[in-house]
Structure 1
Amino acid sequence: MSEKIVFCKGGGCTAKLGAGVLSHVLEKLPRGLENPDLLVGYDSKDDAAVYRISDDTAVVQTLDFFPPMVDDPYTFGKIAAANALSDIYAMGGDVKTALNIVCFPESSDLNILGEIMRGGSEKVLEAGGILAGGHSINDTDVKYGLSVMGLVHPDRIWSNNGGCPGDRLIFTKKLGVGIVCTANRVGEATEEAMAEAIASMITLNKTASEIGRRYHIHACTDVTGFGFLGHLHEMMDGKLSCRIQAEKVPRIEEALHHAEEFLLTAAGQKNRNHVEKYVKFKNIPFAMEELLFDPQTSGGLLMAVGADEAEDLRNELRAAGLPAEIVGEIVKRTEPEILVVEGDS
């Protein structure tokens, strides 16, 4: 059937505009008057907007949608929804409502659309939210996602740039889903690796976020289209630096093999072009470099927490079934901004 070829031809967060292109556009937009209740806006490069509506309540608002990266419509719906919901969790918030965003060719099998939306709806319910409506467009290509609203206390927002020297960095999912999905499109990924990638992408960051709230999280982001190093660069915010231990970073092992075979994404190359001037690799194999640039779809949370709490947080996350690991630490501003080492080198 032709649906498989048309439906999945490269998507997920690999479809995002490059960070450099996006910054070039956003910096030219008119800002308007400063609003003291807009606690987080697009100029902060954070995961979602936050608007204070009272002393103890702020609205967290985000949206995310993209083309399919897997063949099964139901699975795609779950992945797209989990990815959109993740921005709320990355800000330390709780999901409340969601709206569908749909682009779909009206002449195609509407049962496919139904399966996409069924997968998305199930994830919204799992998040504890309410699917409240949406908007659809007749388009030549399939795209799906959500606009999501959540709530957070104004004093407990997790920004992505609040880290401190000495903080440990904890990552909660495995890297490599972009590379594995690329390999799958050309028939090179094993069923086991693809199943591992899908299981990761459909896992909500809800548990990781809720566990994190029991600790003093100084900064947090979810790792998606700009890759591990791209989002880490945003966390440093020109004020901090960090040291990453490559062997500690959770990864889908088969993704390293595919990276060695150059089954890479164009988005991964965009990430490298944008961030590599801030990064120094020390004794790191090419395949691992690519994994760190690989765009993730519905990736894990990257948290900065004090050294005294890091092991307890990591252990609690792992006890909840997440492949979380302490992957590095933040240091005072130095050059390079991001140093990636292997072992004790």
Structure 2
Amino acid sequence: MQGRIACANVLSDLYAMGITECDNMLMLLSVSQKMTDEEREKVTPLMIKGFRDAAEEGGTSVTGGQTVVNPWIIIGGVATVVCQENEFIMPQNAVAGDVLVLTKPLGTQVAVNAHQWLDNPERWNKIRLVVTREDVELAYQEAMFNMATLNRTAAALMHAFNAHAATDVTGFGILGHAQNLAQEQHNEVSFVIHNLPIIAKMAAITKACGSRFGLLQGTSPETSGGLLICLPREQAARFCAEIKSPKHGEGHQAWIIGIVEKGNRSARIIEKPRIIEVTPRGAGTSDNSTTTLNLDGTC
């Protein structure tokens, strides 16, 4: 799974520009010197297989790379492509009146940490009043599934629905990446986030922990998160409906989370954003609402 997630994360740098095809991938692997020989022989091939399987799913292959010895296990890579100008979308053309769409729920950092706390009584006691062990297990599986899911479908639909800009949401959190994207715009615009789609119960956990994760402030890191896309208002709901279509396979979702307005190339989350609880697979029906924004920008 770690290999799959790493590969999905690498490919998202292409997908964020609407590029759906990758010519070649290199894999960078760090093998832990703290592992025994037996552990390395079991773990390393599985990581490599996961990375290669995800690359194959993305229509490409791993042709080389580098392996080093390190105190930690690390896996990553490089994805390259040579393409025509009409095959990519520059992330600089958002206009006032666009809406912001997100294609994966937030909360993966909280889900992974909470799962680690199941065997840590001191940590578990801080959250057990707001979440059950089953909730944590389901959230963890949802996080793993989402992180390993490629953003390739979203990248293809960016062309069909005339996306003006996009970025992938990873280590800086939703707000950090929204700010980075806003700073690159040709037009004087700002991004305002009204809604936060979050894996169910993860908002409750972060509140129980004194907001230590920064999840509701938009600063919680997301490993291999979704695409944050600026779409024309009239196209956004259709994009959200299309990405969930059975012809694209199971697991794809999208939410309208905010608006683009005239401004100073900044991004912010409103004081009391709407939290959209995204129910994990296997726990019932997810909240798949696309969220409608009124013309004045309110939710």
Work out whether the TM-score is over 0.5.
Answer: yes
Match of 1:328 in 2: 258
C-alpha offsets along residues 101-137 of structure 1, whole Å, 9 cap, x if unaligned? 0111355422210111011010000000011011000
- Structure 1 segment 84-233 matched on structure 2, within 5 A: 84-93=10-19, 94-105=21-32, 107-108=36-37, 109-187=40-118, 188=124, 190-233=136-179
CA distance in 2, matches of 1:336, 1:160: 15
Provide, for residues 256-305 of structure 1, a one-character-per-residue CA deviation record: whole Å limited to 9, x for no partner. 1220122876xx56xxxxxxxxxxxxxxxxx633xx22110110011111
Q: Percent identity?
A: 27
The Cα RMSD (Å) is 2.2
Query: Quick one: which amino acid aligns to residue 191 of structure 1?
Result: E
Return closer, same or farther for 1:117/1:335 CA change in 2, 3 Å cut-off: closer
> Offset at 1:336?
7.3
Aligned counterparts of 1:143 and 1:206: Cα–Cα separation in 2: 24
Change in Cα spacing, 1:184 to 1:105, as seen in structure 2 (3 Å) is: same
C-alpha separation in 1, matches of 2:176 and 2:107: 15
Kept in 2, the 8 Å contact 1:250–1:324? The answer is no
Q: Give the aligned residue type for 1:328.
A: G
Alignment: residue pair count: 248
Deviation at 1:207, TM superposition (A): 1.1
Q: 1:151 to 1:250 in 2, by over 3 A?
A: farther
Query: In 2, distance between residues paired with 1:209 and 1:177?
Result: 21
- Stretches (4+) displaced over 6 A: none
Distance 1:331 1:226 in 2: 22
What is the Cα deviation at residue 232 of structure 1? Answer: 0.4
Give the 5 Å matches for 1:1-345: 75-93=1-19, 94-105=21-32, 107-108=36-37, 109-187=40-118, 188=124, 190-237=136-183, 239-246=188-195, 249-262=196-209, 288-289=216-217, 292-319=218-245, 320=248, 321-333=251-263, 337-340=267-270, 341-342=272-273, 344=298
Tell me the distance in 2 between the aligned counterparts of 1:230 and 1:288. 13
Q: 1:152 to 1:166 in 2, by over 3 A?
A: farther
Work out whether residues 163 and 235 of structure 1, in 8 Å CA contact, stay in contact via their aligned partners in 2. no
Unaligned runs of 5+ in 1: 1-74, 270-286
Following TM superposition, by how much is the alpha carbon of 1:337 offset from its aligned partner in structure 2, in angstroms? 4.2
SS of residue in 1 equivalent to 2:216? helix
Asked whether the 8 Å contact 1:243–1:331 carries over to 2, the reply is yes
Counterparts of 2:5 and 2:113, CA distance in 1: 16
Q: Deviations over 1:158-180 (max 9, x none)?
A: 23332111111111100000111
Amino acid at match of 2:203: L
Provide Cα deviations, 1:183-209, integer angstroms capped at 9, x if missing partner.
222225621110111110110001111
CA distance in 1, matches of 2:83, 2:16: 11
Contact 1:160 1:234 in 2 (8 A): no
Q: Which stretch of the first structure deviates more once superposed, 307-316 or 324-333?
A: 307-316
CA gap 1:105/1:130 in 2 versus in 1, 3 angstroms: same
Structure-2-length-normalised TM-score: 0.76
Given that 1:183 and 1:263 are in contact with CA atoms closer than 8 Å, whether structure 2 keeps it comes out as: no
TM-score normalized by the length of structure 1: 0.67
Contact 1:182 1:264 in 2 (8 A): no
| Contact preservation (8 Å) 1:100, 1:134 | yes
Which secondary structure state, in structure 1, belongs to the residue aligned with residue 4 of structure 2? helix
C-alpha contact (below 8 Å) 2:175/2:267 kept by paired residues: no
Contact 2:9 2:224 in 1 (8 A): yes
